[in-house]
Amino acid sequence: MQLATAPATFLSESEMSEPRITVVILNWNRKDDLRDCLKSIQQQTCRNVEVIVADNGSRDGSQAMLAEEFPGVRLIQMPRNVGVAGSNAAMKAARGEFVVLIDNDMILIEEDAFEKIVKRFENRKEMGSLAFRVVDANSNRVSYNSPKYSAGDEKIGYEASAFDGGGVAIRRRVLEEVGYFPEEFFIYQNEIDLSTKIWAGGWEIRYFPDITVLHKFSMTSRPPRLFYYLWHRNYLWYFWKYFPALYAVRETARFITLGAMDSVADEYEGTWLRAVLMAFAGLPMILRRRQAVPAEVVRKMQQIRDEDYFRKTDGRTDGRTTRRLLDRYARRHGG
């Protein structure tokens, strides 16, 4: 997808009044994708926007490209690839009332997306996070991570158990209250971790299908075994951190039992076993970070997920089977 250069350029920090929105982009060796992402942001009709790129030690010239082509973008240079700790550094530095997180291989579609975000937050004071619709650029299909609704008003949005980190807006106040991404995860499951803290903090997450990002699926992909390993390890850590004790024990047994069978089918038995062993090795660290949430928060999030899965499968599978199928889908496709 070719993007025309917008006539407006990003304003520097000294030229900008207090921004309504801060855009945070995490980058690692995706210079060309980052350029296209920033061009789509330039086309936004809302101009009072701060843009921060957190670069995780790229070696492909990303920093020089930013300085030459987007001098108004604020660069936070991390010393190495530190995963979502880079996103946290940028979010903590944000000045905007609303923080927009967008992956560097995403393209904003609607030119009035930022104006919609501001209005939606202003109209719904209890909303802590606003999830975007994510569309696959190759198939033009909506991501499985995006909820499916057949009725309702898209202008007031729909409940979502969690947001897709490819495109989301969060009140800065919420981040300051509940915290940021779990840096011990490095990457993967960080969205569900923060989403749980948002719900537990008394805020809601809503999905708006009229705010869209196009996912290009960068050619600079992550090794599949690393993804498989981190996805499983971090999911165990996630519910050990937040689930009430009985829920955590039950989910551990379910996850390990089904995961063992699925790893054989996926031919990742060794990777899965290492993930489980390393998860248990990190258990003391996770228990020090434990913030058990009320059982009703877990039930609320699971109810939203189950209802969404039911709609996506047209009710053809029961909840347990559906969760297993979609867990496998997520592991294979990066959900």
The burial class, CB within 10 Å (0-12 / 13-18 / 19+), for 28 is: buried
User: pLDDT band for position 274 (50/70/90)?
Assistant: very high
Q: For residues 124 and 128, give the distance between their C-alpha atoms in angstroms, rounded to a whole number.
A: 9
Is the pLDDT at 138 greater than 90, yes or no?
Answer: no
Query: If you average pLDDT over residues 69-83, what whole number do you get?
Result: 95
Question: Domain 13-215 classified CATH 3.40.718.10?
Answer: no
User: pLDDT band for position 242 (50/70/90)?
Assistant: very high
CA distances in angstroms from 249 to 121, 184, 300, listed in the order given: 37, 21, 19
Most confident listed range (152-156, 158-162, 234-238): 234-238
Average pLDDT, the chain: 87
Is the pLDDT at 326 greater than 50, yes or no?
Answer: no
Query: If you average pLDDT over residues 12-40, what whole number do you get?
Result: 88
Is the pLDDT at 180 greater than 80, yes or no?
Answer: yes
Q: Which residues contact 319 (CB under 8 A, 6 or more apart)?
A: 306, 309, 310
- Kindly give the interhelix angle for 319-333 and 224-242, rounded to the nearest 10 degrees: 130
Q: Which helix (H) or strand (E) holds 175?
A: helix 172-178
What is the length of the chain? 335
Task: Map out the domains of the chain as residue ranges.
Answer: 13-215, 224-333
The candidate with the shortest Cα–Cα distance to 95, out of 23, 167, 40, 165, is 23
Strand partners, 145: none
- How would you classify residue 212: left for phi > 0, otherwise alpha for psi between -120 and 50, otherwise beta? beta
Q: Please state the pTM of the whole predicted model.
A: 0.88
Please write the tens of the pLDDT for every residue from 96-123. Answer: 999 999 999 999 999 999 999 999 999 9
Predicted pLDDT of residue 150? 63
Interstrand relation of 21-27 and 98-102 (parallel, antiparallel or unpaired): parallel
Query: If you average pLDDT over residues 212-229, what whole number do you get?
Result: 77
